[in-house]
Amino acid sequence: MLFGLSCGVIAILMLLGVLLDMRLGEATRWHPLVGFGNLAIRTEKKLNSGSGAPIVRIARGALAWMLVVLPFVLLAWILTFWLAQFDALLALGVHALLLYFSLGLRSLRDHTLPIAHALMDGDLPQARLLTARIVSRDTRQAEEADLAKAGVESLLENGNDAVFGTLFWFAVAGGPGVVLFRLANTLDAMWGYRTPRYNEFGRVAARIDDVLNFIPARLTALSYAVLGNTKQAWLCWRAQAPAWSSPNAGPVMSAGAGALGISLGGAAIYDGEVENRPPLGTGPLAAGKDIARAWRLVRMTTALWLLLICIAGVIYA
């Protein structure tokens, strides 16, 4: 396999990466993704002047994407390939560290479960404050259903972006694959908006993320369906995902909402404007306890993926 990693070795490294993430969580200082985000901000300011024809702005966005992503992917490839020639164990350690720095499983738990606890305790101001830290929508006047909906949606969608997509690309291409996926995903989150500033400049970043996430998103949606209300998840996926603006978030969140038997989507306030999003799922509106249920679904899906890769490692050892 790529980089000489057998299926069994990949399984061990994935287990190690997840264990490191759950034990240590995000690095509080010098986190690589934070540094990358700062670099992306500076690059965007220099190259996104806002002037020129649309094709010129798209080209600038493509150049910016290549300048901030490809050097790190190449560095990861050179480092892991070179180390493998001299010290295979050290090279494996680098693969595991790259996976650890790219995963966000514990971060999802640490940022969303306190919202659930605040809602179940009836502390709406605290729940609003905590929710505002993880979503871009306005939470100042949000009620319990709005906050619970935001928390569940964040868990379901970021379960794919920060966990399952990361694990998928690690299985495909090791540490360099993880770096490519997470940096591309980060740029989509920063530049992939349909606003006057980013509509053309961020188009390449958005499309690349769509391509890299296409298979992982559908595997995630399938996993949510298998581990929840399968029939309901499948029906919601088929009926509701096409209406969602994101080709990958639609399947993930519709299947997840159906699997949990709750209703998501609908109205949300962004920058003072009400945005009416397509409905997701079916059943009662999300409540505080459903955030904890969504976390359990993400956690069980992680366990399922690790179990499957371990089985593959045994079969193809």
Confidence band (pLDDT; 50, 70, 90) for 317?
Answer: low
Query: Which of residues 160 and 29 earns the better pLDDT score?
Result: 160
**Three-state secondary structure string covering the chain:** CHHHCCHHHHHHHHHHHHHHHHHHCCCCCCCHHHHHHHHHHHHHHHHCCCCCCHHHHHHHHHHHHHHHHHHHHHHHHHHHHHHHHHCHHHHHHHHHHHHHHHCCHHHHHHHHHHHHHHHHCCCHHHHHHHHHCCCCCCCCCCCHHHHHHHHHHHHHHHHHHHHHHHHHHHHHHHHHHHHHHHHHHHHHHHHCCCCCCCCCCCHHHHHHHHHHHHHHHHHHHHHHHHHCCHHHHHHHHHHHHHHCCCCCHHHHHHHHHHHHCCEEEEEEEECCEEEEEEEEECCCECCHHHHHHHHHHHHHHHHHHHHHHHHHHHHCC
Read off the pLDDT of residues 138-171 as tens digits, 9 standing for 90 and up. 888 889 999 999 999 999 999 999 999 999 999 9
Q: In whole angstroms, how far apart are CA 267 and each of 115, 146, 264, 279? A: 20, 9, 9, 9
**Looking at residue 202, what is its pLDDT?**
96
**Looking at residue 84, what is its pLDDT?**
86
Q: In whole angstroms, how far apart are CA 41 and each of 160, 194, 202? A: 24, 17, 12
| Angle, vertex CA 307, rays to CA 164 and CA 181, nearest 5 | 20
Residue type, 237: W
Mean pLDDT (the chain, rounded): 93
Confidence band (pLDDT; 50, 70, 90) for 4?
Answer: low
What's the whole-model pTM score?
A: 0.94
